[in-house]
Amino acid sequence: MNDTASEQLSEQSLRGGETIRVESVPEEGVQGGEEEQPWTVYQFICDQALFYSRETLDHIVLVIFIYTLLCLVLYKLLFHRCSRWLKLVRKSRLPATANRALLVTAHPDDESMFFGPTILELRRRNCRIFLLCLSDGNYDKKGPTRRQELWDASESLGIKPEDITLLNATHLQDDPAVEWKTVTIANQILKHLEALDADLLVTFDKDGVSGHPNHSAIYYATASLCLSGMIPNKCKVLTLESVNLCRKYVSILDLPITLLLSTNWSVLSWESRRAVQNAMRLHRSQMVWFRQLYVAFSRYMVINSLCEINQSDVEFEILNS
């Protein structure tokens, strides 16, 4: 408002005997309000994001708590003697007719690190287990030490020393950079299957649990035997299922997923789990810090899920290998 208009308005107010207070609004105030509006919108968005983040986090924590409680209850019920249904489930986890099983591994410590639950379950059923370890684990020049550790750990799991075969072949050395020939491995497996009259063969699947190429090589050798029909008819072949990283390190929290997705499995009691952990700790030369964490959190210390090899799976894997 200019000065002339203000004077006229003041004169009119005095003539009428009334006092009118005139306030002028500075232009800066209007501009300042316009500048505050974007900041108000930004603050509103931040407040809403924080609110929904807190709500989402609360829901996630609640879901984790409920799932953990479910796993603990299910694990407890699995070994409850009064549950007939769960007893039947436990009996169907592995082939009931297995009397002589051949376990094929790549290195000393594989039997304890990955196959402990399967070994103890088969031993509980009075199945005789033969262990074929294809290398002496001499990658770090500790072959003699690892050999003795293998004997000690296997014996603690119930495998007799005379039932252990440890190879030290130049073409099957412990080295992820060395390619193990499928034919060489297949010949060794077939020779032991026939000599031992085994009715169950247990080994790694194509991913080898840890992704080690020596583990995967055993699978492809086994798959080639299945594809060529050289596995004895009475011998069933089971491969240890590899799982993703999230499932691998949640111990018994993987139990519901295993029971839903797997057809063959072995779940250990907490006492038996300690037996597998103790067997793994007998491989003292291998117990670096990250393996200590593995022993504490890995599902393979308490759960094994296994898949039966069939013809269509083998053909698909061979074509895509």
Is the model's pLDDT at 152 over the cut of 70?
A: yes
The token pair at 101 is: 């099983």
| pLDDT interval class at 50 (50, 70, 90) | confident
pLDDT(275) > 80: yes
Contact predicate 184/225, CB 8 Å: no
Does the pLDDT at position 104 exceed 50? yes
Question: Per-residue pLDDT for 154 more than 90?
Answer: yes
The pLDDT value recorded for residue 257 is 94
| pTM greater than the 0.85 cutoff | no
pLDDT at residue 9, as a whole number: 45
Q: CA gyration radius for the chain?
A: 34
Distance CA 118, CA 267 (A): 8
- Position with higher pLDDT, 127 vs 320: 127
Identity of the amino acid at 230: M
Q: How far apart are CA 52 and CA 38, in angstroms?
A: 21
Most confident of 32-46, 207-221, 301-315: 207-221
- The CATH class given to the 94-320 domain equals alpha beta
Per-residue pLDDT of 187-200, as tens digits, reads 999 999 999 999 99
Most confident segment among 25-34, 45-54, 174-183, 216-225: 216-225
- Token look-up 């203000």 returns 6
Local confidence band at 217 (pLDDT 50, 70, 90 cut-offs): very high
CA distance 37 to 113: 62
DSSP 91-158: HTSS-TT-SEEEEEESSTTHHHHTSHHHHHHHHHTT-EEEEEES---GGGS-HHHHHHHHHHHHHHTT
What SS3 state is found at 218? Answer: helix
* Range 112-136 average pLDDT: 95
Instruction: Give the lowest-confidence range in 37-46, 103-112, 280-289.
Output: 37-46
Q: Give the rounded percent of residues in the chain with a pLDDT score beyond 90.
A: 58
Dig out the tokens for 85 from the structure: 């249904």
If one counts every other C-beta atom within 10 angstroms of the C-beta of residue 259, the result is 16
For 264, the 3-state DSSP assignment is strand
Q: What is the pLDDT of residue 27?
A: 52
pLDDT attached to residue 93? 73
For residue 226, the tally of other CB atoms under 10 A from its CB is: 20
Residue 176 — pLDDT band, cuts 50, 70, 90? confident
pLDDT digits (tens, 9 = 90+) for 2-31: 555 454 544 554 455 555 454 555 555 445
Examine the pLDDT at 210 and tell me if it is beyond 60. yes
Q: How far is CA 175 from the centre of its chain?
A: 24
Give CA–CA dist 320/301, Å, rounded: 31
Residue 281 backbone dihedrals phi, psi, to 5 degrees: -70, -15
Helix (H, G, I), strand (E, B) or coil at 203: strand
**Structure letter (DSSP) for residue 160:** -
